[in-house]
Amino acid sequence: MKINEQYHNLNLLENVTYEFLGRDGETHEETEPILVEHMMDVYVNERLTMKLICIPQHLAELVLGRLFTEGIISSADDVDQIYICEFGKRARVILSKNKSGQSHEENEDYVAPTPTCCTGNRVLNDYFITDQPMTPVTPVPWKKQWIFDLADCFANGTPLHSQTWATHSCFLACGGELLFQCEDIGRHNALDKAIGYALRHNIDLKKCVVYSSGRIPTDMVIKAIRAGIPVLASKASPSAEAVAMAKEYHLTLICAARRDRMKLFTGNNPTE
């Protein structure tokens, strides 16, 4: 897989001036950095397939992870090349010959389910998506300390969130070692970036733990299951449907994971 990223150091923040209004009657003008929304069109084999609202950082990882969790690819080997333009507005993905040669039945009436993400991310068609069912993940031994360490990483702050309080973050770890962390405007993007990083760097997701800052509805659980991630942890809460799905597919789901406590909803107990 060849990755060609032409963009460099795109603006993530913009200084905005506003009027501060206090309950006690105080008013004054202030200026502070605000997160910049970025839109990227993703073309797969020259066909516009996705529109993503994100921040212009780790864009190749985002594209790769989203292709994987949407079922468009089943591994990094399915991608021949990814090109991202100098402005980060257009991603061009060329699938490998084996993947491209598959027969796909086009459905122009396809409407993607609305995700629980608060951004405008959309999959525009199902031309490349296969109908392969999800398979259960393989549970792995895990330790409470791994989750507490990731909760410490989150509590210690991430660069953009510390300035804006406007991002979600995701942390990828294996065997207690932090491998990657990222931020984005939406928690789905952040999870996809972590997954994409693992694919790009040949990291075995079936041995990894992922920690998210956001709540866990079914679409977040689906991403973890499709990626084969055995342990998904979050600072926030799950939905009842997400818990049921995690149990059905053997995913270890840990929520309300803070520096001093956590809630194990499904999966095997920690080894220590």
pLDDT of residue 267 exceeding 70: yes
Tokens of 138: 């393989």
Q: How far is CA 255 from the centre of its chain?
A: 17
Residue 156 domain flag: yes
| Domain range for 197 | 144-266
Residue 92 domain flag: no
Residue 29 domain flag: no
Alpha-carbon torsion angle 156, 225, 82, 90, nearest 10: -70
Q: At what angle do helices 218-227 and 240-248 cross, to 10 degrees?
A: 20
* pLDDT, mean of residues 256-271: 97
* pLDDT, mean of residues 132-143: 94
- The chain-wide mean pLDDT, for the chain, equals 91
Residue 95 domain flag: no
Residue in the structure block whose two tokens are 């509805």: 217
Residue in the structure block whose two tokens are 């679409």: 219
Residue 158 domain flag: yes
Among residues of the chain, what percentage have pLDDT more than 90? 86
Q: Check which CATH number belongs to the domain holding 220 and give it.
A: 3.40.140.10
Residue 230 domain flag: yes
Q: pTM here?
A: 0.91
